Structure formats: structure tokens, C-alpha cells
Structure 1
Amino acid sequence: MTDTRTPEDTGIRASWTPMVGLFLAQVLMSFNVSALPVSLGGMVDDFGVPPTDVSTAIVTYGLVVAALVMVGAKIGQRVGWVLVFRIVVVVFAASALTMILAPGVGWVIFAQALAGAAAAIIVPSLVALIAENYRGPQQATAIGALGSARAIAGVTAFLVGGTLATLVGWRPVFGIVLVLALAVLGFSSRLRSAPGNPAVKIDVAAALLIGAGIVSLTLGVNNLNRWGLLHARPDAPFDIVGLSPAPVLVIVGVLFVQSFFLWTRRRTRAGKVPLVSLTVFGSSQERAAIYAMFTVVALEAALNFTVPLYIQIVQGRTPFDTSLAMLPFNLTVFVTATLVVRFYGRFSPRTIGVFSFSLTTVALIWLAFVVTNNWETLPTILGLIVFGVGQGALVTLVFNVLVTASPKELAGDVGSVRGTTQNLASAVGTAVAGALLVGILTTNVAAATAAHPELPDELVAQVDLDRTNFVSNDRLREVLAETDATPAQVDAAVALNESARLGALRLGLLILAGVSAVAIFPASRLPSYRREELPASVASGADDG
């Protein structure tokens, strides 16, 4: 007769060796994402493309994960978590190898699409495999370790990745990703799980609706600047009665997402198993947690794109300089995410959420006023640290709220919603940051050239300032050297470029501060109870992870 007792029942603690593999799997995904901004300058130089083209790879990764993570959870249940986990880790390794050998930016985007497809299954499998391999306090500790793994990977990627990208090149950074994938594959031999259940059905219609919605939304937002905010620009692949396809895609994406919810409600009423249970969105508190999660992750992604953009592209400095600039922020996020749980007994999620969004808002406003073309000033570092405190507290808090508000049997659905929300937010945050900053820069340059008669229209046409992007002063001088600009005109254009860039950065930070301030309202709808005030049933589910 098979012994079905858990380690908790027998008093035997399970080995932590399988958890090492799961921990490294979280590090693998987070390191890959964090390594992309660090490698921004190297890819721009190698491939001769603007930074917004490289940011498309970051957007692609988040888009694919967000579009497929709900389906990934069902595939794991149907095939078996250990088997499917090993398969997708191999796919992630193939993605890293493609990054190392990529001859162009198109291959980088393809590689990140592969990595995103693999991560869409890794994300839900981590929670499922922890539940299969650990019980009680060990399970709670294991789930908490996933949060710290994400922060540790961010710090490591910026430090180690930045050093490698500076001294050797950006490609060896993804050699680390390849090594991590192989290590995870090795540790996976110690994992155990129940066999797959072929009876699990995948709601194909819902998967297509949510996938199409996320893809449409992200593509629309990512191309608002390139294709046009309202009227179609020359770069747009097509137009709709003169309108840009970008806002149309955003509207279509919203319609697809709404259709997904309508279809899922109908399927649930018919007694069929949905792709994801809508009870996860059931209360205003759970919806507030999801809104808050989306906002804070999008703000983090926007900042993680903006800082490397200015340091590597505008200032022309090294990835290692980027690492040093982002180190205070990443360390603060790690420490705060680890320590914020100590305050759950003294303050309610509502209080912590409102306070944290107030911090991120104040930090962004502060940065907008103190930032210069040098990110190493004390006021700038202080602003990044304050933002990191708020961001670290929020990411941990809102996931905790979702877990404690839902029944234990819906943990998989909570994981799917978390994965979809975080990766969609990351993709949208990066896309919006790129579109916003380039859009403001273009406006600033157009206004400045009109106000500088020493820059004639003929010179403006030669350097194509109507389609400007972020370039360093040295690069701009190289471009102007190929025109008939006089030395005085070159100096004027460089001064104009420097002023326009800084203005774009400051206004962009103020807009992000406005988004953060608006998020205080959903945060004010988070639960008002403290941890010791939880109902017994809910507290038990929270403790079980």
C-alpha cells in the first residue's frame, strides 16, 4: 500500500535540494529580463539600431508570458509539472544560445519570444511544484524565497551583467543565462509531482481571446509613437481611413479582454471549468490588489528602461556605470521586499499600500526636479532609494493580499493572474516609457529648432530631426560632420539636443508621478485588517502559502 502521508504528517522535513532548482528557475527568468536593459548600449552599437528597437525585445518577452501563462498552467496540469518544466527549461536554454549567437536585433526579439513562451509555463509550475514537494512551514518558506530570488537576480544582473558587458561585451551576459538554465535542468531530477491528468481540458476560446487581447494591447501601446497617436505616420504598416493602427489595436485589445471575461462567466454558469476562475477578481479588494500590482510593476519597468537609456545612450557611458546607478534602487527593493512582511501585524494592507504609493509618487516628483545628465548625484540616488522602498513594499504586499483573499484551491489561478498582470505590466511599462520619452523628445526638438534661427530648415532636413531618437552628443556630432553645418551650428544643435533630452526626461518622470498618484485610489480599497485580525479560515490559507 502506498504511503500517502506528507512530510508534515511524519515529522520528516523534505530536502531543500529540489527548492534550489526552483529558486534558480526564478533567478533564471528574472536575470534574463534584468540583463536586457544592461545590454542596451551594446546591442545598439552592434546592430546599428535605435534603443527603442532593442526595447521591443523586452516588450516581446513580457507580452508572450502574459499572453500564454494561463494556458501554461493548464498544460502543466494536463502533461505533468515535472516533465513540462524540464522541457521548457531546455527551451529557455535554446533562447539564451540564440541571444549569444544573434546576428541582428530580429534574432534577439525571436530569442525573447522563445524565453517568454518557456516562462509562461515556468511561472505557474514554480508554485505547483512547491506545493507538490513541500508542506506546512517549509512550503511557506519556499514561496517566500521566490520573491527574494527575483530581487537577488535583479541586483546580480546589474552588477555581474554590467561588468561583463563593459569589459567583454553583452553576449557573455546571456552565457550566464545559459549556465543557469543547465543548472536548473540538473536540479530538476530531484523534483517530484503527480502525473499529468489528460482529463484536464484547455478552454481554447478563452485562451485565444485573452492572448489576442494582450497582444493587441501591447502592440498598440508599443507603437503609439512610431505609428502615430491618432493620424497614421509614414512608419505605420497601414492606416484605417487615415487613422493610425496603434490606438485601434488598443481599443481592439480592450474588446478582446472584455470578451474573455464575458465568455468565462458564461462557461462558469454552464458548470464547465474555465481557463481561470473569476472568483480571483471577485471582491473590490482583490481587484484593487490587481490594479495596484499592474501599476507598480509598470512603473518599475518604465524606470528600468529610462535609467539605462540615459546612462548608456545619452551619456555614452558603460553598462557597469548603469549597474552602479541602479544598485541603490535594486538593493532597496530587495531589502524592502524581504522586511515588509514584519509590518503586516502592525499595519493593514490599505495603510501600507497608500503609504507606499505616496512614496513612489514623491520620489518620481523629486527625481523630475533634481535629475541632471549625471545619475550619480546624491539627490538622484536618494530619489531612487525612496522609490525602491515603495516599489519593494508594494510588490510583496499585493501578492500577499491576492493569496490570502482566495481559497487555497485557487492558488494556481492566483499564480496565473499574477503572472499575466506582472508581465503585461512590464511590457506596457517599457513600451509606454519608450513611446512617451521619444514623443516628448520629438516635440521638444521641433519647438527648439523653430526657436533657433541659427539652425536653418535645410540643416534640419539633412539630420532628419522630425524623426529624432535618443543619441549621445558624440553621435550627433558625427552625424552633423557629414552635413554642411558650420561649427557654430554644430554647437547649437548639440546644445539643443542636450536640453531637449533633459526636458523629455523630466516631463516623463512627472507623468509617471501622476500615474503613481492615481494608483493611491485603488490602494485605498485594499483590505483594512491587520494580520492578527484575519478570519481563521483565511489566516490558515495564508500560512499554507
Structure 2
Amino acid sequence: MNRWKPLIVLGTGQFLMVLDASVMNVSISQLVEDFDTEVTAIQGVITLYTLVMAAFMLTGGKIGDMYGRRRTFVIGLVVYAVGSGLTAIAPKLWVLALGWSVIEGLGAALVLPALAALVAGAYRGRDRAVAYGVIGGLAGAGIAVGPLLGGWVTTYLTWRLVFAGEVVLVAAMLCLIGWIPAEEPPKERPKIDLVAVALSAAGLALVVLAVLQSSSWGWLEPRNPPFTVFGFSPTLFVITLGGLLLFLFARWELGRERAEKPTLVHLGLFRVRSLRSGLVTLFNQNTILLGLFFVIPLYLQVVLGEDAFETGLRLLPVSITMLVASMSGSLLLRIASPRTIVRAGFLVLLASIVWLLATIDPELNDLSFALAMAVMGLGMGMLASQLGNVVQSSVGAADRSEAGGLQYTAQNLGSSLGTALIGAILIGALAASLGNLIKNDPRISDEVARQAGTRIEAGLTFVPADGVADALAQTSIPPAEADAIVDNYRDAQITGLKVAVLASGGIALIGFLCTTALPAHVRGKGPGGEEAEDEDGEDREDVAA
């Protein structure tokens, strides 16, 4: 039991880092009411949280190298608790943004890279595979349990209790920090490269911002952007600017490496094939996971009319099977390589997506939906059981904080892109399907179809069909034709949802094809039955290419 004490603290930290983001997503309507603001303002607060984390994750990894991983983990938890406490008592929207988006985001950027490195330092061999499986499963469980917990607390108590509870949880973790093995202090404290920090933070922030705002700005045709570029939406231009800054960051880092000066990230790490493949696969995994967790709640809440708490209950099978599959990673390694397990996970995930496509319907089949969710969790858990271990075991002890920063940067970018891309596909499919249905519906006159087409081109949102009916009742459109439009909108909703889920399946297929450089086998035992080790004494059985 003693050997798993560090995992209790580190796993709790991982769960905590992903929990309140999913809580926020189901509390938006209550936050709008409490702060007397608009939905877009709350979405902006949520976006800022992701931006801060993505922008400073690499810097957080370097700080871990400078001051020690456990110390950085503790500092990050304290910063996170301060942000949670401020969020819990926030009287104004700007205080909410400061506490949750900025302070908690900075705390998470310190905690997560250190956490990844501490797990690798505390465990070896199959124990490390188990540990990373648990960490991955808890991350997925936090995403799935968040809507359930957030929905219940928001509905029956207040969302503020979640953040107050986080302060208490952090205090308990700090009391048990001694369970995490102490490290040797760094022989030389590396200096932080401020130019690289600025370039990487600005580049990542711009890319994430543009992707997250793409659904409201539009990708090419402007919808509601703050400005346009030559008449086009700024989305692709902002992404390009972010990419240019990241290119300059890479050139700057290469120059410093040649001059033998300290760098923010050792770019030579990208020459490690298993690390590259692991990062790409993590990106794909989070793109799929967050994309599906955007689409499925919309189906349950907007189409079927379920509340946040009921939605959370529907998602419980994902949490359960994902956690179980994640914790089984070490057992799976006895019969298959990481590459085989990850590929099998993608195939299981694809099967669940096909099952979900057959289940999405105006009338929910409870059993079929629950089984589809359980299979989805199984596939996600198989991925989670291996990828963290592959990334961390691909590098030596000295590079683990940097690898952790890269790991969580990839995950955050995937999460951002998943929500934005799948959301854009959903709205695009909804608009195309609705326009086609109205155009070909004999119950709708040409004039009304023309008016509807103009409204569709101006931009649609995914809202309950009853809301569309109420809006049409305020117009001069004849009731019979309004009813026909509402019927078509309901059908278009189902089509849009299925197209979005199908797109997630396409990303899963791409992810499957990107696994070629993952470890193809597990190294054998040493002469005495012990695990084989590399020259630096670190167990690397899981990264044989």
C-alpha cells in the first residue's frame, strides 16, 4: 500500500485540474444569472482559462527543472487554491475571470508538468504503467463526472461550493505531500529564457484563441468577429500569426542550443520517435474526447431536454469503464505492446462511435446509449493507459519536466481543437441540412423558404426546437409553415449531431494511422528477473521502438 501513496496525492491533483472546467460548462446559465451578464461573457472566461494553461504549460515545465518538481507541484497547488478561493467568493465577473481563468490557469500550468514528471520518478516498470493508467483514467473521469457533480451542486446548492471544496481538497493534499518522494536538488539551477517564454506563450495563445473562437468568428466567411481581414474572418489569419510566432520560437531555441545557452524546451526531444508519436496520439485522443463531450451533452440537453444532472448520470458509464480500462494498462502490457494496445483502443473507440451513430435519435434507447458510452470509455481508457507512460518513458529523468510540459500542451491543444472543430462541423451540418430540408418541403412557400435561407446564412445556433417555435410565433409566418420549419429543424439537429460524431470517427481513424512510431514491444526481464534498465538507471522497458 505504501508504494501507492504518492499516486493518491498525484491522482487527486490530476482529477482536480480537469474537474472544475467541466463543472463550469454545465453551470453557464446559472453564472449568466448570478453575474447579470451574457453567455458570450462566460464563454470568454472559460476560453481564457484554456488560453492561460496552454500558453504557460512549457514555462511551467521549465520552472519544475529550476526549483524541483515536488516544490513546483506544491507552489502550483497553492496558486490553484488561491484562485479557487477567489472564484468561490467572486462578486463580479472580472473577479471570476481573475480567480478562475488567470490564477487557477497559472496554477495548473505549474502543477501538471511537475505531476507528470513526479509519477515517472516515483514508479518504474509495470508500476509506472499502472500509475499513468490511473492518471489518465482520473483525467477522463473528471471530465465525465464534472457535469454530474456540477449539475447537482448548481441545481440544488450553488456552483461556488465546488471551488470552496477545491480549497479544502488542496489543503488535504498539502498535508500529505510527504508521501511523494523527495528529489535531489538540481546541481545547477537553469535560467529561464524570457524571449522563448514570450514567443511560445503568445504563439500558443493565438492558436488556441482562434480555434476556440472559430465557431463565433467563422473560418472564412465572417459571422460575428471583432474585426475582419480583407473581408474574411480573422480565424485563419490569427492561427497563421500564432504559427509564425511558434516558428520564430523554434528558430530562437535552435540558435540558443547551438550557442550552448539555456533553452525553454530542448527541441532535440522531438527526434525521439516514440515521444513524437505519443504527443500526436495524445493530441488526437483529446480532440476526440472533448469533441464527443461537446456533442453528446447537446444531444441529451438540447434535443432530449434533460437537465445537467441527468446528463451527468448518462455519462457515468464512460467514467467507470475508462477508469477500469486505464488501470488495466499494466495487465495489458503482459500480452501486447503499447502500440497494439493503443491501436486496439482506437478500434474500440471507432466501434463505439458507430454504435452511437445508430443510437442518436429523437427517442433515446436507454440501454443502447449506456452500452455505447461504456464501450467508448473502454476505448478511451486503453489509450489513457499507455500514452502518458510512453511520453515520460521516452526521455531520461532530466527531461521529464519538459516532456510533461509538451504532454499537457498537446492535450490542451487537442481539447481546444476538439471543441471548436466538432462544434463548427455540427453547426455547418445543421445549417446545410436545414436549408436543404426547407427548400424541398412542399409545405413551405418559396417566400418563406427564401426568408429562412437568409436567416440560415446569417448564422445558426444549436437551440431547443421549442425555442425555434417560440421565435417563429413572433413572426408573420403562417402557423402551418412555422410548424413545418420546426419539424425540419428537429430532423436537421439529428443530422448535424450524426455528422459531428462521424467527424470524430474520422479523427479516430487518423489517430490510428499515427501510431506507427509507438513502442512495438516490451523489453524483457534482466538476468535475475528484474526489469531491464538503460544506462542512466531508468527503467525504459515501455519505450522500445
The question of a shared fold, defined as TM-score above 0.5 by the shorter chain, is answered with: yes
1:28 aligns with 2:25: no
1:483 aligns with 2:480: no
- What is the percentage of aligned positions where both structures have the same residue? 29
Greater displacement, 450-459 / 109-118: 450-459
Instruction: Please state how far the C-alpha of 1:212 moved relative to its aligned partner.
Output: 2.0
Q: Deviations over 1:523-543 (max 9, x none)?
A: 133221134389641894247
1:72 aligns with 2:64: no
Instruction: Please state how far the C-alpha of 1:285 moved relative to its aligned partner.
Output: 2.9
CA–CA separation in structure 1 for the residues paired with 2:437 and 2:38: 22
Assess if the C-alpha contact under 8 Å between 1:459 and 1:485 holds in 2. no
Assess if the C-alpha contact under 8 Å between 2:253 and 2:263 holds in 1. yes
1:537 aligns with 2:527: no
Which of 12, 15, 27 lines up with 1:39 in the alignment?
27
* TM-aligned CA distance change 1:531 to 1:138, over 3 Å: closer
Q: Deviations over 1:230-278 (max 9, x none)?
A: 2334x22222222221011122222322333332222222222221222
State the SS of the aligned residue for 2:265: coil
Amino acid at match of 1:492: A
1:515 aligns with 2:513: no
Amino acid at match of 2:289: E
Instruction: Please state how far the C-alpha of 1:337 moved relative to its aligned partner.
Output: 0.6
1:444 alignment counterpart: 433
For residues 81-480 of structure 1, the aligned pairs below 5 Å read 84-101=72-89, 110=98, 111-127=100-116, 140=128, 146-154=135-143, 156-188=145-177, 199-233=189-223, 235-374=224-363, 377-452=366-441, 453-454=444-445, 456=448, 460=452, 466-480=458-472
Instruction: Please state how far the C-alpha of 1:90 moved relative to its aligned partner.
Output: 3.8
* TM-aligned CA distance change 1:471 to 1:232, over 3 Å: closer
CA–CA separation in structure 1 for the residues paired with 2:452 and 2:37: 21
Greater displacement, 188-197 / 369-378: 188-197
CA–CA separation in structure 1 for the residues paired with 2:315 and 2:429: 24
State the SS of the aligned residue for 1:398: helix
Amino acid at match of 2:519: P
Amino acid at match of 2:474: E
Assess if the C-alpha contact under 8 Å between 1:59 and 1:426 holds in 2. no
Greater displacement, 494-503 / 87-96: 87-96
CA–CA separation in structure 2 for the residues paired with 1:130 and 1:369: 40
Amino acid at match of 1:456: V
1:6 alignment counterpart: none
Q: Deviations over 1:429-476 (max 9, x none)?
A: 122222222232233333334344247269749988832211113333
Amino acid at match of 2:234: P
CA–CA separation in structure 1 for the residues paired with 2:326 and 2:120: 22
Greater displacement, 447-456 / 221-230: 447-456
CA–CA separation in structure 2 for the residues paired with 1:381 and 1:96: 33
Assess if the C-alpha contact under 8 Å between 2:532 and 2:541 holds in 1. no
Instruction: Please state how far the C-alpha of 1:362 moved relative to its aligned partner.
Output: 2.9
* TM-aligned CA distance change 1:198 to 1:167, over 3 Å: same
Amino acid at match of 2:296: V
CA–CA separation in structure 2 for the residues paired with 1:225 and 1:145: 34
Greater displacement, 192-201 / 387-396: 192-201
Amino acid at match of 2:219: L
Instruction: Please state how far the C-alpha of 1:151 moved relative to its aligned partner.
Output: 4.3
Assess if the C-alpha contact under 8 Å between 1:344 and 1:531 holds in 2. no
Segments of 5+ residues of structure 1 without an aligned counterpart are: 1-12
Assess if the C-alpha contact under 8 Å between 1:67 and 1:214 holds in 2. yes
2:520 alignment counterpart: 528
Q: Deviations over 1:475-511 (max 9, x none)?
A: 3333334334443244223212211211110011111
* TM-aligned CA distance change 1:510 to 1:436, over 3 Å: same
* TM-aligned CA distance change 1:163 to 1:531, over 3 Å: farther
Instruction: Please state how far the C-alpha of 1:101 moved relative to its aligned partner.
Output: 4.9
CA–CA separation in structure 2 for the residues paired with 1:45 and 1:312: 19
Amino acid at match of 1:25: G
Instruction: Please state how far the C-alpha of 1:16 moved relative to its aligned partner.
Output: 7.2
Amino acid at match of 1:204: L
CA–CA separation in structure 1 for the residues paired with 2:38 and 2:193: 40
CA–CA separation in structure 2 for the residues paired with 1:139 and 1:355: 22
Segments of 5+ residues of structure 2 without an aligned counterpart are: 526-530
Assess if the C-alpha contact under 8 Å between 1:23 and 1:146 holds in 2. yes
Assess if the C-alpha contact under 8 Å between 1:63 and 1:427 holds in 2. no
Instruction: Please state how far the C-alpha of 1:162 moved relative to its aligned partner.
Output: 3.1
CA–CA separation in structure 2 for the residues paired with 1:286 and 1:189: 30
Instruction: Please state how far the C-alpha of 1:292 moved relative to its aligned partner.
Output: 0.9
Instruction: Please state how far the C-alpha of 1:79 moved relative to its aligned partner.
Output: 4.8
For residues 4-23 of structure 1, the aligned pairs below 5 Å read 20-23=8-11
State the SS of the aligned residue for 1:176: helix
* TM-aligned CA distance change 1:116 to 1:268, over 3 Å: same
TM-score, with length taken from structure 2: 0.85
Cα-Cα RMSD: 3.6
CA–CA separation in structure 2 for the residues paired with 1:248 and 1:175: 40
CA–CA separation in structure 2 for the residues paired with 1:503 and 1:479: 22
